[in-house]
Each structure stands twice: as structure tokens, then as C-alpha cells.
């Protein structure tokens, strides 16, 4: 009974809640907010980009601002960061005191400092991580975050979020090695334990790592190999589809954005489970009418709408 209780407590958190809060690019529309993604895992919320209207979208979704622990920025064009000052003020008014981590390309401190002119006093600390390398990884609040550089007209990054999953705990092996019961929970979490003069390591009781959850998010870029490489095998690939119309190829190249077809080709190369298109041009009034441009190449494509949501589960 004790063993089951230990395992069940860990199994409860084997889900990643995902909500694409806004799907608009460049400017908000009456029924389309600017780009932002929010995820929830094990009591910690993470956000990627924070365009105008993000706060309203969070409220409409029924989620909370207070548990947001990490905000990642792809780049600093206004449609990706203009909602930050108001969000910080709202989080402060919610009596948040825990530190907030911001991740983004080089210049993050300067940009955030400028935006905070209208949000100068907050009851929590802001910790900034500036990205300078083509690829960087971080472990924060149960998220394994990989930032990878893409190809826009300013420095821009895509992000892969992974929830790693350790191998299954083998109680029989633990008993055979006389590992005290009080050490089991820590070992199951992947921690090394020193107890009664003995050192116990996770590999003594855990099987091979199991498949985790993987989500990749990228906007404002031309198609580059780094995207398909990092998106490979993702459960969900959220990708810019700035243009769905057939006559926009030249414009996409000129402004370093992507078409539906180009996004679909990346999804096909990466062999993802599902792709959501996002970051639509204001001229693309009904993206669902153009989605065949993508589904002809990658059938499991969805022209996402604001607050498109899913629960990504660990495989049994």
C-alpha cells in the first residue's frame, strides 16, 4: 500500500495543459489577440510571448496569472512583448512574491527595464536570462527548455518544452538490495540518497527512461533546419503560418515569415504528431479556409484559433 501511494502521487502530475492564448500577428483584431502560449505543469505555469491582449485571454481561459514562473520571448517586436508591463502589474496586484524568470535573446534586460518604466515597483524579483548561443537549454520548474535560434529580420528563437519521464520504479529490485523504504520516494524522483552510511542511486531501482511530453513553438522565421531538428517527434508543433494565400510566397521571403505550405513541410520532416498553425497576418481573415494548403502536405494540421487548448498526456 505504501509503494502504491508513492507512485500514485507522482502519476497525478503526468499531464501538460496547453493553451494558445492568441493567434494574431502584427496587430490585434476584434476576435484575434496577439501571439502568446501558456502551459501548466505540476503547479507551475510557463508562457511564451506576451502580445497585447494576453491578460484578457488568460482571464477568458479561466487560468491564473499568479502561478506564472517563467516567460520566454521569441524576440522583441511589439506584437510579442507589448502585453508584458500590464501582466507584471496584474501579477503584482495578485500579491505574488515568488521570483519570476524571463528568458529571451540578448537585450532582454534593456527591453524589460524600458517597459518597466510604467511598472517600476513590484513585490517580486525578476530574473533575466539572456540567450547568446545558437542553442541553449535550461531546467526550470520541471520543464526542460531548449531555445534555438531561427531566421527572422531580428534575432529570434524558437522553444522546445519537454517534460522528461524517468524509468519505472522497480520495488522488487529495491527490496532485493535492502534499500530502506524511506529512500524510495527520493530515488523514484531521480535523486541520489545517502542513508545509514550507504549511498543509493536511481539506476539501482529505475528502468530505462520512458517517453516524455514534447512541445515545440516557433514563430516569425523562415523555414530552417534547426526547426525540424528540434521539433522532431514532438507531440505538438505550434508553428507560424503567417500567410495561407497562394500568392504570398514572395512576401513571406521578403519579411522572413512562413506560409502554410512551408510550415507543413517542416512538420512532415519532423514527423510530429500534430501541428497547430498560428501568428496569422491580419489579411488572413479566415485561416481555416486556407488550411488545405497545409493538410495536403501534413494531414494532421489545425488552423488554430485563440484559446485552442489540449491536455498532453504521458503514454502508458
Band the pLDDT of 7: cuts 50, 70, 90: very low
Mean pLDDT throughout 20-40?
A: 94
pLDDT tens digit string along 128-171? 999 999 999 999 999 999 999 999 999 999 999 999 887 888 88
Burial, 135: exposed, middle or buried (Cβ in 10 Å; 0-12, 13-18, 19+)? Answer: middle
Which residues are annotated binding-site positions? 75, 77, 79-80, 152, 220, 279
Which among 148, 182, 203 is the end of a domain? 203
Instruction: Look at residues 17, 124, 131, 127 and name the one whose alpha carbon lies nearest to residue 64.
Output: 17
Decide if 40 is inside a domain: yes
From CA 170, how far away is CA 179, in angstroms rounded?
Answer: 12
- pLDDT, residue 13, reads 59
> Per-residue confidence at 269, pLDDT binned at 50, 70, 90?
very high
The pLDDT, as a whole number, for residue 6 is 30
The radius of gyration computed from the CA coordinates of the chain, to the nearest angstrom, equals 21
- What angle, 0 to 180 degrees and rounded to 10, lies between the N-to-C axes of helices 84-93 and 108-115? 70
Q: pLDDT tens, 49-73? A: 999 999 999 999 999 988 999 999 9
Q: Is the pLDDT of residue 264 over 50?
A: yes
Three-class secondary structure assignment of the chain:
CHHHHHHHHHHCCCEEEEEEEECECCCCECCECECEEEEEECCEEEEECCCCCHHHHHHHHCCCCCCEEEEECCCCCHHHHCCHHHHHHHHHHCCCCCCEEEEEECCHHHHHHHHHHHCCCCCCCEEEEEECCCEEEEEECCEEEEEEECECCCCCEEEEEEEEECCCECHHHHHHCCCCHHHHHHHHCCCCEEECCEEECHHHCECCCEEEEEEEEECCCECCHHHHHHHCCCCEEEEECCECCCCCHHHHHHHCCCEHHHHHHHHHHHCCCCEEEECECCCCCCHHHCCHHHHCCCCCEEECCCCEEEEEECCC
Mean pLDDT, the chain, rounded, equals: 92
In a domain, 316, yes or no: no
- Whether residue 191 is found in the same domain as residue 286: no
Pick the more confident residue, 311 or 5. Answer: 311
Q: What percent of the chain has pLDDT over 90?
A: 74
Query: pLDDT tens for residues 87-124?
Result: 999 999 988 899 999 999 999 999 999 999 988 889 99
Confidence of residue 16 (pLDDT cuts 50, 70, 90): very high
Name which of 89, 12, 14 is nearest 50 in CA terms: 89
Does residue 229 form part of some domain? yes
Domain identity same for 40 and 177? no
Q: Could you report the per-residue pLDDT of 187-230, keeping only the tens digit for each? A: 888 889 898 889 999 889 888 888 899 999 999 999 999 999 99
Which pLDDT value is given to residue 160?
Answer: 98
Active site residue 170: no
Q: How many structural domains are present in the chain? A: 2
Q: Give the closest residue to 81 by CA, choosing from 102, 59, 58, 56.
A: 102
Pair (188, 249) in one structural domain: no
Average pLDDT over residues 5-9: 31
pLDDT of 19 above 90: yes
pLDDT at residue number 10: 40
Residues 180 and 222 in one domain: no
155 and 301: one domain?
yes
**Which parts are annotated binding residues for Zn(2+)?**
75, 77, 79-80, 152, 220, 279
pLDDT of residue 209: 80
Report if residue 107 sits inside a domain.
yes
Percent of the chain with pLDDT over 70: 96
Q: What residue numbers bound the domain in which 182 lies?
A: 171-203
CATH of the domain at 216: 3.60.15.10
Query: Residue 315 — pLDDT band, cuts 50, 70, 90?
Result: confident
Give dist(CA 75, CA 179) in Å, integer.
49
Whether residues 13 and 67 fall in one domain: yes
Shared-domain flag, residues 56 and 192: no
Report pLDDT for 8: 33
pLDDT of amino acid 2: 25
Separation CA 220–CA 315 (nearest Å): 32
Residues 274-294 have a mean pLDDT of: 96
Q: Which of 49, 69, 79, 306 is catalytic?
A: 79
Q: Is the pLDDT of residue 1 over 80?
A: no
pLDDT at 9 over 50: no
Report the pLDDT value the prediction gives residue 115, as an integer from 0 to 100.
93
CA distances from 296 to 38, 83, 239, 256, 287 (A): 29, 35, 16, 23, 15
| 132 and 265 share one domain | yes
Residue 277 within a domain: yes
Q: Which residues contact 121 (CB under 8 A, 6 or more apart)?
A: 92
Amino acid at each position: 500500500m505504501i509503494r502504491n501511494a508513492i507512485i500514485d502521487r507522482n502519476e497525478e502530475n503526468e499531464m501538460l495543459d496547453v493553451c494558445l492564448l492568441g493567434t494574431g500577428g502584427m496587430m490585434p483584431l476584434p476576435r484575434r489577440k496577439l501571439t502568446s502560449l501558456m502551459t501548466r505543469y505540476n503547479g507551475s505555469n510557463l508562457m511564451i510571448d506576451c502580445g497585447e491582449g494576453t491578460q484578457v485571454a488568460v482571464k477568458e481561459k479561466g487560468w491564473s496569472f499568479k502561478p506564472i514562473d517563467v516567460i520566454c520571448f521569441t524576440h522583441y517586436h511589439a506584437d510579442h512583448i507589448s502585453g508584458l508591463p500590464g501582466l507584471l502589474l496584474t501579477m503584482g496586484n495578485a500579491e505574488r512574491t515568488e521570483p519570476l524568470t524571463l528568458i529571451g535573446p540578448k537585450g532582454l534586460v534593456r527591453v524589460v527595464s524600458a517597459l518597466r518604466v510604467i511598472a517600476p515597483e513590484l513585490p517580486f524579483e525578476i530574473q533575466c536570462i539572456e540567450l547568446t548561443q545558437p542553442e541553449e537549454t535550461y531546467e526550470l520548474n520541471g520543464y526542460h527548455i531548449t531555445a534555438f535560434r531561427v531566421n527572422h529580420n531580428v534575432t529570434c528563437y524558437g522553444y522546445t518544452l519537454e517534460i522528461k519521464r524517468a524509468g519505472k520504479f522497480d520495488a522488487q529490485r529495491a527490496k532485493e538490495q535492502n534499500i530502506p523504504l524511506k529512500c524510495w520516494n527520493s530515488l523514484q524522483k531521480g535523486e541520489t540518497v545517502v542513508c545509514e552510511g550507504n549511498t543509493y542511486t536511481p539506476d539501482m531501482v529505475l528502468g530505462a527512461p520512458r517517453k516524455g511530453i514534447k512541445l515545440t513553438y516557433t514563430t516569425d522565421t523562415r523555414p530552417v533546419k534547426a526547426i525540424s531538428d528540434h521539433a522532431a517527434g514532438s507531440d505538438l508543433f505550434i508553428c507560424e503560418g503567417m500567410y495561407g494565400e497562394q500568392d504570398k510566397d514572395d512576401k513571406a521571403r521578403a519579411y522572413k515569415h512562413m506560409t502554410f505550405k512551408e510550415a507543413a513541410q517542416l512538420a512532415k520532416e519532423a514527423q510530429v504528431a500534430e501541428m497547430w498553425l498560428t501568428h496569422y497576418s491580419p489579411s488572413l481573415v479566415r485561416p481555416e479556409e486556407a488550411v488545405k494548403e497545409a493538410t495536403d502536405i501534413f494531414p494532421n494540421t489545425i488552423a488554430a484559433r485563440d484559446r485552442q487548448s489540449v491536455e498532453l498526456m504521458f503514454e502508458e
